[in-house]
Structure 1
């Protein structure tokens, strides 16, 4: 048995001083008239003098920031409130220790209460109006009205009625020794009173919009045409940045066009303006379908709409269905194109036209077409899109099922003429899908030029015919090409023997491949023609961008209708007849080979000595060949008699197509959202160095920024919170100045919008 080990029992030293106030499990505070010390794990970590309010605040903040104690534990130990501790932490995060230095309480910015506004408020008060009625008429809150009328401590009228009181404290001047209880954090009761008075003139943070029960009740009875705009004033309102789009939206004419085409919707709380703006704002938030409303707080979206809440999904769908029931989607598209043409006349010299297919994965019996991006045939609907020279969408037209781009171009000529005018000449740019000499002739006869790639075989030019050409685009980028030219005559193929004469430009790549380009323009240099044709890829880029950001391929409506039963479609029997001809021709070839083999065999037999140079060819081979030729002739005759196209009812009875009216309406809204965003992106170029590549990324952030919204007289002030980086905030401030200069009014009001960004200089 080993030696006995004796244990020495010694009292554990105290973790904190006896008079320390515990702050969680690790820290404690000892404070007296000399100052205070904060102990952490038994060691003195923070110390401050009695008059060192900055040191005391720093200690409290550091305990929370370093997660040594919770907010509640620090509040209890330092004897402060949650709001005070929150302000200390926010000030320390923004400005460091300097932010903890006590400053003068009260508003720091210019007062909204101008002399003119005070005079107006007092006149309205003389008429007997209530404070709430005066506030509504002038556009301020009731606390501001009280100040203007001298009914709040600190105002001139209040001092006149209380000559023995100070303007700041409201205490009697006859008692200069009046003391105020002081909390351990250095904030007095008077500070709290001053803060309450200051807050009376400060916008409320995230106010709940006033419920508009009376108007909703009137709407249920059919007595309300549309809820008027009532903007909720407040600070840090979410998605206030959406209001940045309104000046650029005016250039698209979206609201004006919808009002002129549809007039108004049936009586109800949500009218045409609020529904269109809701869909527009959802598109800018990159959730453009109706169900996107479920992913945005309805009160947040309602504040920027001037309502108490945004419409729900079922309301949006019901309103869109009402709009679509007018069957005027094509009129909306044409009217928007006219407004766009008037706003951007310089962009109409070149028009990009391309087809787009929207894949359908439902159960309806829709027609099939080739989807180029998927490299397969699938159920889909076709559309024809027209874009201007900058590739901004101008017009969309539902395509005829099964029609080629060449057919759609011919069908589109009247629409193009209506947009650009009857006398103006423009160049239509399209890809090889529009290759057709007859299409080229139709476009040139209508006063339109063509620019496209050549399709099919061509005669390459000799290498010595090529020369270097260059072109500098409007952005200052120089493009060099190795080009050669010739003139070609293309047969029209209409049976008349007519031809069309076009200019053919051969572009030679680094590998020696020649790419022929056709155009009817003789005034463009070869390099200009190549650069312009390459610009069509920007339209393809729009399709990709819109698919991911603006729900280009979304259904938006599940309504379908019967397809035209008399529409001519390719006859599948014609294909089978052609296959029968191919099989019959193969049989003829096989029979001929069999006859040749029989002749060779007879020749071999005739060469034998015993046959004396004679032999008989097997007659079965000749009979087989004759029969094969008869079948071949019959197959060709059957193919000739089979029509190439037959009515749809004979091929696909009961065929359906999707209703395009709702899609034309949603296309119009999202096209306007994209074009308005493009306008803002171009305006950013003077304020944001990487705007060429990052302008839209900055705008996507800007639309989600919170901000303050308040009304002063006839001005609606939108003061946005800073962006994620100082240079982004500076760029948005420059953009805001430009937008303010447009003096755009908020839709449905006479309020001119003033845009600013917090912590950025106002250059107005």
Structure 2
């Protein structure tokens, strides 16, 4: 079937001067305070500029008659689509007269004092809004407006009403969460609260409200809340972070991050593989934020260097909480590898892989048990000694508690403020001398260049008490030794341990007032920090990227390696390698072939050629060495060529998550100390805790006693259950409350003897 040709235009596209064209046929002209509409060049309607009724009537008439389309009216006059739809509906149903009917005045008050009292009593009884509106005979919108204006107070659907309903099971919750996906989203069952949050009507965020639930996934992680609270997860939040606004509060986000760390959900992206509704029950909400929402919340929390302020306050609290552990601090660097392409970070030596790889160096300060105090990121790094001197020592001098006064230091020349311990990377007699003379800080490390072995008969079997509480038998001996050069060296205490193999491990110390037993116990506990690195990388993902992005490095005066010097080093190694090979080839042809005269000429030519190459390479090597000596090894950051400068990875969100993970590690360490009391193999404590955090639990709020009962399901075997039961008894004795509520946390183990 052939298509019909379009009708030719019969009206010329003529419009009056100064007119605004609505479409090819209709235009409008504004003259003074009047609007005049034209069909082609003929006026068809006019009204005053402020006559909104005539405007709505005529534009609706144009649409209904097919002269104009809705989108043309919207584009020409800038009105909303809803306004056009209302006018068109009114024109079709009620005609032109409906636009000019006088407006009805305000009616009498619907919610009188009597009606308000009746509605308030129903609301106090826990009746829903819809049922209240039906019973007293008013519109639902009227009741909702009265509640929003504060004339009526709705009883919160907290534990007092939620606890009256039967406990839900996992299947029922799954069906409910799936059904909500067709409305606001998966597990978004608190519709009204989310709408109010979107409209800015929940300035304090969604309330924490628990409902009776059975078999909640990962419910066992709530057993860590007392330890998390004790280690400062909820401390200084209002002081450091601005309110988030919206549905989720800062407190709820912090609880979620800590639970993710303990449940080994290492990144925000991994959250999408867990049920949002089940995790939401742990927070007293309908669901946890989705990945994109949580990223936005973390961005808000990371603004204005808030994570750095929070971490500094917590670090000071941790140091003051245990002055004995704060007296001996362990410092070590950890290279965080970067395989991205946003910037070309410098290469660092990674001892765990024995390779030079691109990354950034973090310096961690831990106690003797491996618990972290703080971490310092150094995108431009000159090594451990420079980091200790410029970044770590000034902070420790300010934060370490119970430092001796200046009078006490003057009275006792062997007294130290505190002690720092590190591995052989920090070996420097000049640095030891500077720390002692300038700050009276003692240093303990391994001797990098020990002299001859000591006689075995000077070693004595000694019981050494380690910082963790265990006692180890060691063969120890102590002497005074001069360490370093005659000019810059100093006398230090040298303690040696005789190993069963006959090897002598030497450590040196400027803790002149200490003992060999104490120093040996401290330094040989340095592996607790290495264990922390390995455990945190494997279980908490401290090496993983928290966000994608870089920023410029500004305000630094730290020297960096000169790229020109690095290139000359490469050239020197290359020329030296070639020269070594040519000399080896020359030595191989040194024997004279006396028996064969034909080979003599060839031998002489080959030898002369090699000799020329050797002389050329020797000259080239001397030239490179001269240029190398004239080129400075380091440059200031501002002197680097632009093409050689790199950027730092975005630090704030990483520091926020690292701080939460430090709190989680410290909380887990405290709980492991309790569990070890009931375990024959103490190394199993953390594995038992991991099983506890991943276990299911029943959450039963009790409004009568103002308690939240957490009933942890039985674990793998009786041995583990006995250890968990012992832990829960200790937690119950702490009388902790759920953060942000007055609910006392009560823990039970299903099937336990005490239940």
Do these two structures clear the TM 0.5 threshold for a shared fold by scoring above it?
A: yes
Q: CA shift at 1:631, angstroms? A: 7.9
User: In structure 2, the residue corresponding to 1:260 is in which secondary structure?
Assistant: helix
Is the Cα contact below 8 Å between 1:574 and 1:644 reproduced in 2? yes
User: Match of 1:187?
Assistant: none
User: Match of 1:479?
Assistant: 472
User: What are the superposed Cα offsets for residues 704-742 of structure 1, whole Å, 9 maximum, x if unpaired?
Assistant: 222232223322222222222233333323322221221
Q: How far apart, in 2, do the equivalents of 1:546 and 1:568 lie?
A: 31
Q: How far apart, in 1, do the equivalents of 2:543 and 2:613 lie?
A: 57
Q: How far apart, in 2, do the equivalents of 1:417 and 1:345 lie?
A: 14
User: Match of 2:744?
Assistant: 752
Q: CA shift at 1:524, angstroms? A: 3.7
Q: CA shift at 1:280, angstroms? A: 1.1
User: Match of 1:375?
Assistant: 354
Q: CA shift at 1:366, angstroms? A: 1.5
Q: How far apart, in 2, do the equivalents of 1:247 and 1:731 lie?
A: 17
Q: How far apart, in 1, do the equivalents of 2:721 and 2:472 lie?
A: 35
Aligned partner (choices 231, 239, 264) of residue 210 of structure 2: 231
Is the Cα contact below 8 Å between 1:562 and 1:654 reproduced in 2? no
The count of residues paired between Structure 1 and Structure 2 equals 556
1:241 maps to 2:234:
no
Instruction: Give the direction of change, closer, same or farther, for the CA distance of 1:623–1:726 in structure 2 (3 Å limit).
Output: closer
User: In structure 1, the residue corresponding to 2:369 is in which secondary structure?
Assistant: coil
User: Match of 2:286?
Assistant: 308
Q: CA shift at 1:336, angstroms? A: 1.5
Q: How far apart, in 2, do the equivalents of 1:406 and 1:474 lie?
A: 25
Q: How far apart, in 1, do the equivalents of 2:577 and 2:162 lie?
A: 95
Q: CA shift at 1:577, angstroms? A: 4.9
Instruction: Give the direction of change, closer, same or farther, for the CA distance of 1:737–1:643 in structure 2 (3 Å limit).
Output: same
1:414 maps to 2:394:
yes
User: Match of 2:74?
Assistant: none
Which residues of 2 match residues 192-591 of structure 1 at below 5 A?
203-206=167-170, 208=173, 211-225=189-203, 226-265=205-244, 267-364=245-342, 365-411=344-390, 412-421=392-401, 423=403, 425-444=417-436, 445-456=438-449, 458-473=451-466, 477-491=470-484, 497-564=487-554, 567-574=558-565, 577=568
Q: CA shift at 1:434, angstroms? A: 1.1
User: What are the superposed Cα offsets for residues 649-698 of structure 1, whole Å, 9 maximum, x if unpaired?
Assistant: 33843422211211111000111111111111112233x22361222222
Q: How far apart, in 2, do the equivalents of 1:738 and 1:285 lie?
A: 21
Instruction: Give the direction of change, closer, same or farther, for the CA distance of 1:299–1:632 in structure 2 (3 Å limit).
Output: closer
Q: How far apart, in 2, do the equivalents of 1:455 and 1:393 lie?
A: 26
Instruction: Give the direction of change, closer, same or farther, for the CA distance of 1:325–1:263 in structure 2 (3 Å limit).
Output: closer
Which structure 2 residue ranges, 5 or more long, are not aligned? Answer: 1-117, 128-153, 174-186, 405-416, 591-610
User: Match of 2:59?
Assistant: none
Is the Cα contact below 8 Å between 1:405 and 1:433 reproduced in 2? yes
- Structure 1 window deviating more from structure 2 (523-532 vs 283-292): it is 523-532
Q: How far apart, in 2, do the equivalents of 1:366 and 1:251 lie?
A: 38
Instruction: Give the direction of change, closer, same or farther, for the CA distance of 1:217–1:430 in structure 2 (3 Å limit).
Output: same
RMSD over aligned Cα atoms: 3.8
User: What are the superposed Cα offsets for residues 541-567 of structure 1, whole Å, 9 maximum, x if unpaired?
Assistant: 111111111111110111112345975
Q: CA shift at 1:374, angstroms? A: 0.9
Is the Cα contact below 8 Å between 1:334 and 1:419 reproduced in 2? no
Is the Cα contact below 8 Å between 1:409 and 1:439 reproduced in 2? no
User: What are the superposed Cα offsets for residues 227-269 of structure 1, whole Å, 9 maximum, x if unpaired?
Assistant: 121112222322221211111111111122333211422x211
Is the Cα contact below 8 Å between 1:241 and 1:707 reproduced in 2? no
Which residues of 2 match residues 643-722 of structure 1 at below 5 A?
643-648=632-637, 649-650=640-641, 652-686=643-677, 688-690=678-680, 692-703=682-693, 704-713=695-704, 714-722=706-714
User: In structure 2, the residue corresponding to 1:255 is in which secondary structure?
Assistant: coil
User: What are the superposed Cα offsets for residues 454-510 of structure 1, whole Å, 9 maximum, x if unpaired?
Assistant: 2246344344544433324466644233333332334489xxx34332111222323
User: In structure 2, the residue corresponding to 1:716 is in which secondary structure?
Assistant: strand
Aligned partner (choices 599, 610, 628) of residue 639 of structure 1: 628
Q: How far apart, in 1, do the equivalents of 2:293 and 2:253 lie?
A: 9
Q: How far apart, in 2, do the equivalents of 1:575 and 1:329 lie?
A: 36
Which residues of 2 match residues 44-193 of structure 1 at below 5 A?
130-132=124-126, 139-141=159-161
Q: CA shift at 1:747, angstroms? A: 1.1
Q: How far apart, in 1, do the equivalents of 2:684 and 2:723 lie?
A: 12
Q: How far apart, in 2, do the equivalents of 1:638 and 1:433 lie?
A: 30
Is the Cα contact below 8 Å between 1:330 and 1:397 reproduced in 2? no
Which structure 1 residue ranges, 5 or more long, are not aligned? Answer: 1-123, 145-199, 599-621
User: What are the superposed Cα offsets for residues 414-446 of structure 1, whole Å, 9 maximum, x if unpaired?
Assistant: 222233137253221110111122332343232
